[in-house]
Amino acid sequence: MPLGKRNYKAEYDEYHSRPEQKKNRAARNAARRMMARRHGKSKLNGKDVDHRDGNPRNNASSNLRVTSINYNRGKK
């Protein structure tokens, strides 16, 4: 496979369709909905909801914060 080409179907089949990843994705979506109810949708435009401890299933309000996309996706 040439460099830069991604096989999205294989990625989904091998990773994203796994039950634990589906649960993680559902928890991330729930966190975003929770923050939208608390702060309003307009406050989340162009922002990400960050889990302070990195655990997507820990949706305690003390573990969630609204951050910039650059910060949230750039941290390791």
Domain-wise residue ranges, the chain: 8-74
Q: What does the mean pLDDT of the chain come to?
A: 94
- Assign residue 6 a region (left: φ > 0; alpha: ψ between -120 and 50; beta: otherwise): beta
Contact in structure between 33 and 62 (CB atoms under 8 Å): no
- pLDDT higher than threshold 80 for residue 36: yes
Backbone angles phi, psi at 48, to 5 degrees: -115, 155
Contact in structure between 39 and 63 (CB atoms under 8 Å): no
- pLDDT higher than threshold 80 for residue 75: no
- pLDDT higher than threshold 60 for residue 18: yes
> Angle 69-44-60 (CA atoms, 0-180°, nearest 5)?
90
Split at pLDDT 50, 70, 90, the class of 30 is very high
- pLDDT higher than threshold 70 for residue 76: no
Q: What is the DSSP letter of 48?
A: E
Split at pLDDT 50, 70, 90, the class of 68 is very high
